[in-house]
Structure 1
Amino acid sequence: PKTNVVFLKVHKSASSTVMNILFRFGETHNLTFAFPLNGGSQLFYPHHFMAKFVQGFSPGSAPQFNILCHHMRFLHPEVQRVVPSTAIYFSILRNPVQLMESSFVYYKGTSSFSRARNLEEFLHEPYRFYNPKIADSHYAKNLMTFDFGFNPDGDVTPKRVHLMLKAIEASFDLLLISEYFDESMVLLKETLCWDLDSVVSFPLNIRDSSTRSPLSDSMVEKIKKWNRLDWEIYIHFNKTFWERIDRDIGRERMQREVRALQQRQAELAEICLQGKGSVAPKEIKDSSLMPLQFGSAKILGYNIRQGLDKKTERMCRQLVTPELQYSSALYKKQFLQKLQ
């Protein structure tokens, strides 16, 4: 299995679930993570990534971290100083229409969104609310473009789009699509030579459907237009995603693999979870499994069955631990000698 991995954690794209998969794999195989300084949850986002943001990075030595997966704004030369040159680089994308709807709820407190009554009002006159000069404005426009390190406010010319797509292709080995999450995990498993259990997951950091709002056709068009660079990224890599599947796996085998993944997931849900799956925050019994409640979204979590044996309980707990708690536990483990 491949153990050197860079994951660009694009906001609001099922990336917390992917991060859980990487945390579990790293913990099981005793790998080192490139943690933010002092165990923070982001690598000084929204600044472009720099190697010195990583706890324990030393400029003189060879890149010594196995997994880089915390939120960052991508900058390839700096990332290369932290992970070995053999690392596999991957990320996950989401349809910019759903991404924007999700961001509006989750980042409601940011400068661009706080004064807009709803997404419709924002899109009707975005420049009434959006000021690119304000530090948190990136959440409101071309967020994927921004996370990949590019200017979200750039003019959309064919040349700029072409160069941006080429640059992403040059840096990344694999771009997954969150709308096809199971297929994405099969592709990831193949690329990293991991086993099925390594890529099984329960959806993390998802919100209660009561905050989801249906979008009219005209809203959809406005969102695409407003996030045109993101749309170009998404369309292009959605196409290459399926080309990759056809080339490396084939649709028939992919269907079989997805079925196996879903079956295993259902088995684990049966073993691990109380009730039918995710529950509202107020129903989470174990506070250490409570996900961060942020913005105006209600973020769901899980309850683990009682009476499991130690080994099973540990596995189940790994699957449902929210990223902030998991990250800080792994940080403590990795830097234990430092903290004593």
Structure 2
Amino acid sequence: MLEKTRLNETFNFVGSQTHSGELAQSDRCEGECLDSVNSIAFIKTHKTGSTTIGHIMNRFGFQRNLSFVLNKKSSNGHLVYTKITKDSPKNLFLKPLDVKKGDYERYKYDMITVHVRYFRKAMDTFMKPGTRYITILRYPGTQFESAFVHFQMDDAFPILVKNRLKSASINDRLKEWFKHPKQYLEKLKQLKWEGQVGLRYYYAQNNQLFDLGLDVRYHNNETMVRDYIAKLDEELDMVLITEYIEESLLVMKKQFSWQLEDILFVPKNQRTEQAKLGEISQSLRHKIDNWNRLDVRLYQHFNESLWRKVKEYGPNFDQDLANYRDRLADTFDRCTEGTYVFRQGRYFQNINYKPAKDSDQLCMLIAEHKRSLMKRVRTKQVNG
């Protein structure tokens, strides 16, 4: 049984709509502000709400003139499944701010916020001392369904089946997938995605554990899986849970001595109802859980870990959470004005919120599209 799992597809804004110009007690630093954590390696897992968290991290680093790990060959900076080594700063990354190009010994970074697999040994060689490593996990029963739609995994179906299911619900598409899951998984090895052959193969089963560094060849080794989850538990400073994003961020805020302003957000890249293509039956949820059983184990472990941290937070947690939700609701009202849909491919249809016309700088950074903020980050580092 998953502890306190809320199987919602979106982040909720609740509480009052009031806003005070002064920071509440929980807005202030837990200790001296100089002691706050300023170096973060965020392992951006796929289809987990990681774009929203990545936007928080990008804003935090941009406001403080921090240096980001960015792929110099890609406008979005993503590294995805490129093998990371100690030589990656020289071969792949933009130089840090205020460092002379080619002075590779000084290529040390404050932030990772792009899609990249977790390679801790290599990352420690180019991240600054004291870097905290974090990630986000989502219940596999909904994460896989979202990935299935987004990555158009039904491309693996035979053409006649694909034509028959052209306008079918996600429930019917997944039924077809689970008739021959291993066959369709293998087919994805032969198909391109974003110009790379076989990329979707890694998105199609236990993707969250793969993103966190355990290669597929070890996924059938029970001892390796168990030991690797234990290793992650020791190495990761914070694992956020999508279904409890507000609770997760509040715990992280205290752990890193951040201010409440640092964890304000507006959701990014939420799927439209049309893109969801209907609801999933419980029988299919069970099949999805079984198919992604390693991700379920991973999720259960860190879901329980989150609630232990909530208990350790102290007696003010409920009040601080209520205050945080008030501020989120107020931020949403003040900083957004209408929505727009970004479309790409057959099912990629995501809702984003427009910044309010009279937005101040903070509101603009919070509400603007992920690409706009990433462009700011990249431009600053290219010119810095």
Deviation at 1:236, TM superposition (A): 0.8
- Structure 1 residues 61 and 155: CA distance shift in structure 2, 3 A: closer
1:40-55 alignment, distance < 5 Å: 40-50=75-85, 51-52=88-89, 53-55=92-94
Deviation at 1:48, TM superposition (A): 2.9
- Name the SS of the counterpart of 2:216 in structure 1: coil
Deviation at 1:130, TM superposition (A): 1.0
Report what 2:215 is aligned to: 151
Match of 1:139 among 186, 203, 219: 203
Report what 1:218 is aligned to: 283
1:1-340 alignment, distance < 5 Å: 1-50=36-85, 51-52=88-89, 53-56=92-95, 60-62=104-106, 64-108=108-152, 112=156, 117=165, 118-131=173-186, 133-134=189-190, 135-136=198-199, 137-152=201-216, 154-212=218-276, 213-247=278-312, 249-250=313-314, 252-275=315-338, 279-281=339-341, 291=342, 293=344, 296-306=347-357, 308=358, 312-336=359-383
What 5-or-longer segments of structure 2 have no aligned partner?
1-35, 97-101, 166-172, 191-197
Bigger Rg over Cα:
2
Distance 1:167 1:63 in 2: 27
The CA deviation string for residues 251-302 of structure 1, in whole angstroms up to 9 with x for no partner, is x522212211111111122222225xxx242xxxxxxxxx564551321111
Paired residues in the alignment total 319
Deviation at 1:233, TM superposition (A): 0.5
Give the letter for the 1:85 counterpart: P
> TM (normalized to structure 1)?
0.86
More strand by share: 2
Distance 2:323 2:217 in 1: 43
Contact 1:189 1:199 in 2 (8 A): yes
- Structure 1 residues 145 and 42: CA distance shift in structure 2, 3 A: farther
- Name the SS of the counterpart of 2:353 in structure 1: coil
- Structure 1 residues 155 and 87: CA distance shift in structure 2, 3 A: closer
What 5-or-longer segments of structure 1 have no aligned partner?
282-290
Greater RCO structure (CA 8 Å; 6+ sep): 2
- Structure 1 residues 260 and 170: CA distance shift in structure 2, 3 A: same
Report what 2:170 is aligned to: none
Distance 2:380 2:248 in 1: 30
Stretch deviating more after TM superposition (214-223 or 157-166): 157-166
Distance 2:259 2:240 in 1: 18
- Name the SS of the counterpart of 1:175 in structure 2: strand
- Name the SS of the counterpart of 1:150 in structure 2: coil
> TM (normalized to structure 2)?
0.77
- Structure 1 residues 162 and 264: CA distance shift in structure 2, 3 A: same
Deviation at 1:205, TM superposition (A): 1.0
Distance 1:63 1:190 in 2: 30
Deviation at 1:219, TM superposition (A): 0.7
Distance 1:294 1:22 in 2: 28
